[in-house]
């Protein structure tokens, strides 16, 4: 698939890159309370979740508390912050470890906290999104930030896309990664598009090792949405 999301978003939300948590695509089981003001400028969410992801039995007796606040001061501009206080449960077995956090043992419960703050603007001349993210998993601290944009090239159907992404998976072990993305996307029908882009990373994972070195790639994808 085309590299659309930031490394920090994928890792901190459990979208496949955190071995301790597994592939949960940012979803969980629990209760949610949400609402907005009469003007729809201010929105809020409060969630109590299992903290283990979808279709999985809770691995411990702790619940995760997640809060999200969104403010829309202007048309097209969203300012958002969110936080999570919780306890994770390592799903790895057979003595396997996470390259990012090798001190957490199989089946062990561990601190799993999250914090984000960001903004999103969608206008006719440009679409831009930026976010700061941080996480605490056991004794490991991770953080990062990204900015991504899409600029129409003469027509709304054809856009130049560009992104810069930084994320340090474990600040105590020099696991910082920089990623740059540039390319084009063509909207041939409403929410259907073709994309091609170049991706550069200065670090990558191979054989469960974090390697500092250049990694280049060209990706192409067609996306069709039915709704």
Q: Is the pLDDT of residue 53 over 90?
A: no
Confidence at residue 148, expressed as pLDDT on a 0 to 100 scale: 96
Q: Which long-range contacts (CB under 8 A, 24 or more apart) does 72-76 make?
A: 72/40, 72/41, 72/42, 72/43, 73/41, 76/121, 76/122, 76/123
Please determine, looking at this structure, whether the domain spanning 7-223 carries the CATH number 2.40.160.10.
Answer: yes
pLDDT tens, position by position, 78-105: 999 999 999 999 999 999 999 999 999 9
The stretch 97-125 carries a mean pLDDT of 95
pLDDT tens, position by position, 175-226: 999 999 999 999 999 889 999 999 999 999 998 899 999 999 999 999 998 8
> What is the distance between the alpha carbons of residues 3 and 118, in angstroms, rounded to a whole number?
20
Indicate the domain borders of the chain: 7-223
Confidence of residue 1 (pLDDT cuts 50, 70, 90): very low
The stretch 153-159 carries a mean pLDDT of 94
């Amino acid at each position: 698939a085309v590299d659309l999301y930031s490394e920090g978003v994928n890792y901190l939300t459990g979208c496949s890159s955190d071995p301790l948590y597994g592939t949960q695509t940012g979803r969980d089981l629990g209760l949610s309370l949400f609402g907005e003001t009469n003007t729809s400028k201010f929105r809020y969410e409060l969630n109590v979740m299992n903290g283990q992801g979808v279709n999985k039995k809770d691995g411990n007796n702790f619940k995760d508390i997640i809060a999200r606040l969104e403010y829309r001061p202007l048309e097209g501009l969203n300012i958002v912050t969110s936080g999570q206080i919780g306890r994770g449960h390592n799903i790895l077995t057979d003595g396997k470890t996470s390259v990012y956090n090798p001190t957490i043992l199989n089946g062990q419960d561990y601190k799993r906290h999250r914090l984000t703050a960001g903004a999103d603007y969608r206008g006719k001349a440009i679409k831009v999104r930026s976010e700061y993210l941080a996480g605490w998993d056991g004794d490991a601290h991770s953080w990062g930030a990204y900015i991504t944009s899409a600029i129409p090239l003469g027509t709304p159907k054809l856009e130049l896309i560009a992104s810069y992404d930084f994320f340090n998976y474990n600040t105590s072990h020099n696991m910082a990664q920089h990623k740059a993305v540039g390319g084009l996307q063509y909207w041939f029908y409403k929410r259907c598009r073709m994309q091609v882009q170049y991706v550069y990373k200065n670090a990558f994972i191979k054989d469960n090792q974090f390697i500092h070195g250049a990694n280049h790639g060209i990706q192409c994808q067609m996306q069709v949405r039915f709704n």
